[in-house]
Each structure stands twice: as C-alpha cells, then as structure tokens.
Amino acid sequence: MGLKLIYEGKSKLVYDVGGDELILEFKDDVTAMDGLYKSSVVGKGVLNARVSAYLFELVERAGVRTHYLSYDGGRRLLVRKLSMIPLEVIVRNYAYGSLLKRMPLYKQLQKLEPPIIEFHYKDDSLHDPLIIAEDALAVGLLTKEELNHIIKTTLKINEVLSNVFKERGLKLVDMKVEFGRAKDGELLLADEITGDSFRVLDGNGDHLDKEVFRKTKDVNLMIKAYVKLCKALGLDVSDVVSG
C-alpha cells in the first residue's frame, strides 16, 4: 500500500496508509512560539519517535487506551487514524510557563496539588487560546461524558508518567495531550509524548525538554537534553549519538 502525505504539521508528517491507520513521521524541525522561531537538528525526529513509542507502550500497559500500534525503530510510528478533538489538554504538576502569566500569584515551580488541568483550543493562528470546559461543551467539541473521560484519563496518564519519571530521578512539570475518536467513538490518547509536549527536570533542575530551545534558541543544546532524557529512560540511542 502506498503512502499518501495528508498533513504536514510543525513537528510531524502524517501519511495515510489506507484502512484505519496512519503513519506519524517525526521531523527534525524545532519550532517555538507557534512557529515564530524555526530550526532543525539531525536526530530530533528519531529521538522523539522513540520516546513517544516507549511512553505510549508504557501508558498502554497501565490501562490507558492510545492510538499507538507499532514503531519502526526510526522516525515513524504506526497509529490508529482518529477524528481529532481540537483541544490541547494540559496537566500541570508544578507552576511554570504560561500559567505564571495568567495567574501571577504562583511562584515558579510551586507544587500544584492536586494537578491543574487546562484546556486550550488548538489553533496556531489564535495561539491556542485558553478556554474553560463549559466553552468546549457549549460549542459541541465534546460531550459531558467525553469531557469527564478526558479529565480522568489525563490525570491517570500524568500519574503513570510522573511515577516512572520519578523512579528515573526526573520531575514531570507539565504536559500537553491530545485525544481523538476512533470509528466506534472510543476516545484514545493520540499525537505524541515527547520533550516537545512535556516539561521534565533532571536531578539538577535542568530541563530535558524543548524549554532548552525556547530559552537558548540553540538546537545543539536541545538535542543534548533530548539524548539525556532518552538515556534517563533507559532507551538505546547509540544509533543517533556516540558515547
């Protein structure tokens, strides 16, 4: 079956492979500020595909239903084709980033107990505006049942990943997840789980995520952080970097 490119996003290419499956190919491109800053670095695509595959398998084992089917060992994941809900669901364990701007009483990296969930309407041209759950219901983006499922599932994913990271000496600050509906209506975790979609700190308080690029605009520093993340998770990256 031939590959048909159906979408090129900021970080991935999406190919239709026929049937109910898609290939997500992780690009080497790096963007920040909704695409205002753009760069590229060899290895990023492989590292992000590998981290995604590993973490999708991990949350699946914990009982979370995801779009993940298989990983080719390179830059491609085979996934189930979904009808995406245009929401970025953010879960925050520590105050950081845009949260500090919208609520100035938080101190940076203050622990949020319980975690805070935010919904953003996914639209780059509008800078993914923050919305409240009622907005999403009122315009029919999802049903109340789906909303409850998404909140419950996001908290579960956050708990599973926070625990795994903690065992590896890492701290999950926050993460963004996306969901889509399968043909039968089932909601599945979709998109990616990578340093582009979460913030994670190592034991020294250093970022092993895209924050390195947002702060320094240096893709080489960022790729070093991504390699560290892979190694901390026990992933073999000897095909990407030496040493």
Ligand X SMILES: Nc1ncnc2c1ncn2[C@@H]1O[C@H](COP(=O)(O)OP(=O)(O)O)[C@@H](O)[C@H]1O
Instruction: Pick the binder of ligand X from 62, 84, 221, 241 (CB under 6 A).
Output: 84
Stretch that binds ligand X, among 11-19, 104-112, 130-138, 213-221 (CB under 6 A): 11-19
**By CB under 6 A, residue 180 contacts ligand X:** yes
Whole-number Å distance between alpha carbons of 92 and 99 = 9
Interface with ligand X by CB under 6 A: which range of 4-12, 198-206, 212-220, 221-229? Answer: 4-12
The one among 67, 76, 92, 207 contacting ligand X by CB under 6 A: 67
What secondary structure does DSSP assign to 36-73, as a single string? TEEEE-TTHHHHHHHHHHHHHHHHHHTT--BSEEEE-S
Spatial separation of the C-alpha atoms in residues 184 and 65, rounded to whole Å: 13
Residue number of the CB atom closest to ligand X: 9
Task: Using DSSP, state whether 218 is helix, strand or coil.
Answer: coil
Q: How far apart are CA 21 and CA 78, in angstroms?
A: 7
For ligand X (CB under 6 A), the number of binding residues is 17
Residue 155: CB atoms within 10 Å:
14
CA 93 – CA 165 distance, rounded (Å): 13
Binding status of residue 210 toward ligand X by CB under 6 A: no
Tokens matching residue 105:
């009483």
Is residue 190 part of the contact set for ligand X (CB under 6 A)? yes
Site string for ligand X, 20-59 (x = CB under 6 A): --x-------------------------------------
* Beta-bridge partners for 23: 15, 78
| 191 in contact with ligand X (CB under 6 A) | yes
Q: Which window, 43-51, 77-85, 98-106, 148-156, contacts ligand X (CB under 6 A)?
A: 77-85
Nearer to ligand X, 94 or 198 (CB): 198
H/E element, 154: helix 144-167
Binding site for ligand X (CB under 6 A): 7, 9-12, 14, 22, 67, 79-82, 84, 178, 180, 190-191
